[in-house]
Structure 1
Amino acid sequence: MEHIPANRLASLDILRGFDLFLLVFFQPVLVVLGHHLNLPWFKEVLWQFDHEVWVGFRFWDLVMPLFLFMTGVSMPFSFAKFRDNSDKGRVYRKILKRFLLLFIFGMIVQGNLLGLNPQHLYLYSNTLQAIATGYLIAAILLLNCSFRLQIFITILLFLTYWIPMTFLGDFTPDGNFAEKLDCRVLGRFRDGTSWNADGSWSFSPSYHYTWIWSSLTFGVTVMLGTFAGKMMKDGKGGKRKVAIRLFIVGLALLALAGVWSLQMPVIKRLWTCSMTLLSGGYCFLLMGLFYYWIDYKGNTLELNWLKIYGMNSITAYVLGEVINFRSIVASVSYGLEPYLGKYYSVWLTFGNYLILFFILRTMYKKRIFLRI
């Protein structure tokens, strides 16, 4: 349990809550409902709530970058007390602890750690692990580098990612450098591997998410968040001007993404440079909108409920992805099945995430905020 400072940035908690609400309530309920509705226009809505297959960008592709971005936004606030700390070893131990815990939670969520089966153990395959890597990169930069040097190294991360991706492969699912590196380094511990009866294994032809080389651009996404956080923490010119600067940076990043996409396509599964800039631009615009509406205008009442998710975001994500509450819902409402028919599965999904909501709401009301 952690004490929450009075000057905490409300827009950040609410925007993070919006992101988590989409992930562990709205989208799964919407998808299962959409599968039972025979409405052509609804299929277009559902298309936006699924990931792009390869080149391109949909609304749902923003959820993960926004999660990483907001990790970075909070860091200038939380790291301010560490920069002048003479005991850097203690600070680094905290950073390493958070990195390891996020990595382990990522393996629990998507790495099949709880399956206790080495044949299906995946080392690097989850959003929390991407956050862990990006956080580690950003933490080192924030503790040791001036702001100008942070910008320079962020650009250097981009160039380091770009060079082999451009000159040592192509941008096809099987021919890109990041794919080859993941297959070589992770081997059978890469998500998507399948085992044959004779004990041999092979890579799935449909799994093309990359993690190791993409860690560089994960770091850039988190660093973009730290730049937004610094702008809000410094508050130069007042909150209205800060919001305007966030909008301007967001639009500039979108323009740069459009130019870079002519050479390097927008591919979320590879976390390409153009995708990083595009998603970063949208994140800046969303942060600017929430900051303007909430921290500048003071309109929080109708959105405060999102803090239930935003102030326990890791808890919400892990519980939502790991724990299945449908059995509880089914055990107390199985009598509804004859009446709901094919929509009974919608009810089970709704009830599953409703239970999660009430758990998070109870934690919020009792001021229990779990931090890593």
Structure 2
Amino acid sequence: MEIQKTQRLGSLDVLRGFDLFCLVFFQPVFRALARAVDLPFTNWLATKFQHVQWEGFVFWDIIMPLFMFMAGASMPFAFAKYLNSGGKARLYRRIIKRVLLLWLFGMICQGNLLALDPGRIFFYSNTLQAIAMGYLISAVLLMHFKLKGQIIIASGLLLAYWAALSFIKIGGFGGGDFTPDHNLAEYFDRIVLRRFRDGSTITAAGIDFGKYRYTWIISSLNFGVTVMSGVFAGHIMKSNLPKISKLRWLAVGGVLMVAAGQLWGLQMPIIKKIWTSSMTLYSSGICFLLMALFYYLIDYKDYGKYFNWLKIYGMNSILAYMLYEIIDFSSISKSLLHGTEHFLGNYYIAVIKLANVSIIFFILWVMYKKKKFMKV
């Protein structure tokens, strides 16, 4: 069976690269530099590069939703070659393989799988696993429903999660309680994951869940919606509309979702850690606006040559993430820069951080030049 070649947009790889560049290069270096400079403005700006404690949303909170959004944005292009050729069985094998690999990689990155200590293995605790669940939900919708059905079901998932957290009450959890210790998503993570929940420890009194307050089990409904928001953006960019019309759809859609998310936040707060429906809508709107910006720069104005270096991250995004999460390059950096701490003073840590992430960039650059990409 002949499989058609996938259409590829430069803006998809560049925006994904921007997301990973922020994650594995800019943020660690900037925060270390801000601590060294220790000025009011840089200290304030550094707060925008760390997650809010609970309610609210800053720049750094868009990194994970954008990663998931980009996974969805490429799906209409990647799936088309299979669906147009009647290769659903082959596509299902690809989907299952990708979900399993992402889940395994997530356990390696944050589930402590490599610690070889059963007491430290956590089952569901990582961005890659959230992408896996969102991808699985979105793949089923994309394969078996037309656009109208996809919109209806995605909206249904968004509303179902809102209704569950707002109206279902079990013991001291839920019923519109969105606090860290008493929301319904927290309850489900505790009863389903139990000691395999990240941050949990076994004590004489039972399971101590600590202060870890990210939720995953029923939050997976909105992980699917976040990835589907990327799918909808992908539908727009893959359509036969003129490029200026695609830009309008992305921009207007983004503005409307941001506004709707803010309004919804008056009842259901914007909380990333439990992936509330208001946060899902709000962050998806920001992702739409970023997609519109990069589509305008790369595919509409043809400024790609100025941003192609971001593809070094974007075309090996999973590898970039895993290198950053798993391998500590500081032993190499400190060996190469041995003796400079005396001269660098407070800037020494920032220089070490810069060296660490530069090593990752070099590895990705070599692979990009050799056209070696980690496919999942």
TM range, smaller chain? over 0.9
* Alignment check: 8 A CA contact 1:20 1:313 kept: yes
Kindly report which structure 2 residues correspond to 1:212-361, keeping only aligned pairs within 5 A, or say none: 212-236=217-241, 238-361=242-365
Cα distance in 2 for residues equivalent to 1:164 and 1:234: 35
Tell me what 2:186 maps to. Answer: 179
Cα distance in 1 for residues equivalent to 2:83 and 2:58: 38
Tell me what 2:171 maps to. Answer: none
Note the alpha carbon deviations across 1:102-161, whole angstroms, 9 max, x for none.
Answer: 000000000000011111111000000000000000001111111111111101111221
Tell me what 1:211 maps to. Answer: 216
Cα distance in 1 for residues equivalent to 2:24 and 2:262: 31
| Alignment pair present for 1:193 and 2:220 | no
Cα distance in 1 for residues equivalent to 2:262 and 2:360: 39
Amino acid at match of 1:322: I
**2:137 match: secondary structure:** helix
Cα distance in 1 for residues equivalent to 2:82 and 2:156: 25
Gap runs ≥5 in structure 1: none
Cα distance in 1 for residues equivalent to 2:367 and 2:228: 30
**1:53 match: secondary structure:** coil
Amino acid at match of 1:316: A
Shift of 1:258: 1.8
Note the alpha carbon deviations across 1:329-370, whole angstroms, 9 max, x for none.
Answer: 112220222211232222111101000000000111111111
Note the alpha carbon deviations across 1:27-68, whole angstroms, 9 max, x for none.
Answer: 011112222222111111011001011111111000000000
Tell me what 1:202 maps to. Answer: 208
| Alignment pair present for 1:28 and 2:28 | yes
Shift of 1:201: 3.7
Shift of 1:286: 0.5
Amino acid at match of 1:182: D
* Alignment check: 8 A CA contact 1:103 1:128 kept: yes
Amino acid at match of 2:266: L
**1:81 match: secondary structure:** helix
Amino acid at match of 2:289: L
Shift of 1:6: 8.6
Residues 7, 155 of structure 1: alpha-carbon distance in 2 compared, 3 angstrom cutoff = closer
Amino acid at match of 1:151: I
Shift of 1:87: 4.8
* Alignment check: 8 A CA contact 1:261 1:274 kept: yes
Shift of 1:187: 0.3
Further displaced range: 344-353 or 127-136:
344-353
Cα distance in 2 for residues equivalent to 1:214 and 1:129: 12
Cα distance in 2 for residues equivalent to 1:31 and 1:94: 39
Residues 33, 239 of structure 1: alpha-carbon distance in 2 compared, 3 angstrom cutoff = same
Kindly report which structure 2 residues correspond to 1:61-80, keeping only aligned pairs within 5 A, or say none: 61-80=61-80
Cα distance in 2 for residues equivalent to 1:280 and 1:235: 23
Cα distance in 2 for residues equivalent to 1:226 and 1:298: 23
**2:213 match: secondary structure:** coil
**1:188 match: secondary structure:** helix
Shift of 1:93: 1.5
Shift of 1:195: 4.0
* Alignment check: 8 A CA contact 1:82 1:143 kept: no
Q: Kindly tell me the number of residue pairs found equivalent between the two proteins.
A: 365
Q: Normalising to structure 1: TM-score of the pair?
A: 0.95
* Alignment check: 8 A CA contact 1:235 1:242 kept: no
Kindly report which structure 2 residues correspond to 1:44-123, keeping only aligned pairs within 5 A, or say none: 44-123=44-123
Aligned pair partner of 1:367 in 368, 371, 374 = 371
Cα distance in 2 for residues equivalent to 1:200 and 1:185: 15
Cα distance in 2 for residues equivalent to 1:82 and 1:156: 27
**1:79 match: secondary structure:** helix
Amino acid at match of 1:65: P
Cα distance in 2 for residues equivalent to 1:102 and 1:40: 40
* Alignment check: 8 A CA contact 2:195 2:202 kept: no
Note the alpha carbon deviations across 1:160-203, whole angstroms, 9 max, x for none.
Answer: 2112200121111111100000011000110111344x595411
What's the C-alpha RMSD, in Å, of the aligned pairs?
Answer: 1.4
Cα distance in 2 for residues equivalent to 1:79 and 1:289: 24
Note the alpha carbon deviations across 1:217-276, whole angstroms, 9 max, x for none.
Answer: 00000001000001000131x111111110000011012112211211100001111000
Cα distance in 1 for residues equivalent to 2:239 and 2:285: 20
Q: Normalising to structure 2: TM-score of the pair?
A: 0.94
